[in-house]
Amino acid sequence: MSENNFDRGSALSIFGSDRKEDFMALAIALVIAFAVYFAY
């Protein structure tokens, strides 16, 4: 396995692409939104 195989992302993000980061943010936000919706 090469040394840089997991050296992904950029100086601003750990994700390989903006789309991946967006989807991750969307998933986290939806989890929070529904948690708030049911908890309060």
Partner 1 sequence: MVYTKKNPALFIIGVIMLAIWFMADAGMLSGYIEHLGGKKYKYTKELLSIPLYFGVVAAVMGLWQWFGSHKEGNFDYYTSTLAGAMFILLIAMLVRWFIAPEVAVVSKMMGKVGDTGKYLHKILGLNYVVMGILTGIIIVNFFKVPEWAKNGVRVSRLGLKTGVILLGTLYSAAELKNLGGLSIFMIGFFVLGSVGMTLWLGARRGIPNSMGGVLSAGMGVCGVSATVASAPVVQAKSVEIAYTIGTILLWGVGCMFVFPMVGQMLDMSYLKFGAWAGTGILNSAQVAGAALAYQPDGIETLKVAEIFNITRVLVLPIIVMWLAVWYVKREQTGTKVSVGQVIVEKFPMFVIGFLLLFALSTTGMFAPANHYKGKYFNNTTDFKSKNLLSDSKKAALQAEMGKIQRADRKAAVERLIANGKIMSIEDDDQIRGLVNAKIMSKDNNKILKKAHKAVRHASAKIKAFRNWITWLFAFGLVGLGMQITVASMKQAGGQPAVIGGIVGFTKAVLSLIVVMLVVKDTI
Task: Determine the residue type at 25.
Answer: A
Total Cβ atoms within 10 A of residue 34: 10
Contacts to partner 1 by CB under 8 A: 1, 3-15, 18-19, 21-26, 28-30, 32-33, 36-37, 39-40
Q: CB of 17: closest distance to partner 1 in angstroms?
A: 11
CA distances to 6, 7, 10, 32 from 2, rounded to whole Å, are 9, 10, 18, 37
